[in-house]
Amino acid sequence: MNQLEFVKLHGNGNDFILIDELKGERIPTDEKSDAARLLCHRNFGIGGDGVLFLVPSEKADIGMRLFQPDGSEAEMCGNGIRCLAKHAWESGYVGESFSVETLAGVIPIQVRKDCNRFWARVEMGIPRFERSEIPAEGEGLFLRVPIHGFEVSAVNTGVPHAVIFVDDLDLPVEQIAPNIRHSPCFPDGANVNFVRLGNHLEVRTFERGVEAETLSCGTGSVAAAAVARRLGLVGDSIEVRTRGGPLRISFVGEKAFMEGPAVTVCRGVISDEMLQTLQ
């Protein structure tokens, strides 16, 4: 393997290692899971909530694959796709409007610079509430279902999300969430969002695949807004505040949009010593 360059980026503190494979594969597909486990480790690797691979696409302008710290591949990631969009735009691969192929479908994106800060507006599609599309056990909608002492609603915003409204976000999230994340109600598991309602939404998210709370989750923010809107608690536009920063979630008809920043942290080269463990 030749010298392997990477870019570290974050979207509201949800951080990713990006490997550009647009002009050729750098890590073979059957090695990507193991590479993600190693590179995401915050002591023995670079550290991150996932590894983004920028890849060619026959269906869109560019493609995205995301491998998580546990080695699993995620269908979609709202903060991750903004990071990928930033790199692609600044590298001259795309213009200000383009599309990205993900396992959750083709995602249209618009990007801009405002006061020297990068922003991306991502078309997140129509949130799916039917249990078969989340997926969740049973039939019909998954709204206000009692699970482990909480009233849980669920929706798919690219990946499955459980949403729980609480009065106080001072909760031991990493103790509570795993029981819901692994509930038999969710055959593929679910991300778990605890949400406090006010003039805006405040969200804490435990992410499937990371198996921990992250500072921000884009698809989780959309899920929180979509469930709140479905229950008649908010209107068509709402600010969602995560521990890593705010996102603006809006709806046009039933289609959801997410707008937020992305930041490039650093660029580097993975050492030969580390590369030997990837081979």
- The residues annotated as belonging to the active site are 77, 217
**Identity of the residue numbered 38:** L
Closest CA to 16 of 89, 65, 75, 62: 65
Question: What are 127's two structure tokens?
Answer: 């949130």
Cβ within 8 Å of residue 172, ≥6 positions away: none
Contacts 24+ apart (CB under 8 A), 34-40: 34/71, 34/278, 35/67, 35/278, 36/67, 36/68, 36/69, 36/71, 37/69, 37/70, 37/71, 38/274, 38/277, 38/278, 39/6, 39/270, 40/68, 40/69
Dihedral (Cα; 27, 217, 114, 120), 10-degree rounding: 60
For residues 8 and 268, the answer to whether their CB atoms sit within 8 Å is yes
Residue 278 phi/psi, 5-degree rounding, is -90, -10
Token readout for 149 is 């002492």
CA distance 46 to 48: 7
Q: Which amino acid is at 3?
A: Q
Residue 279, classified by CB atoms within 10 Å of its CB into exposed (0-12), middle (13-18) or buried (19+), is exposed
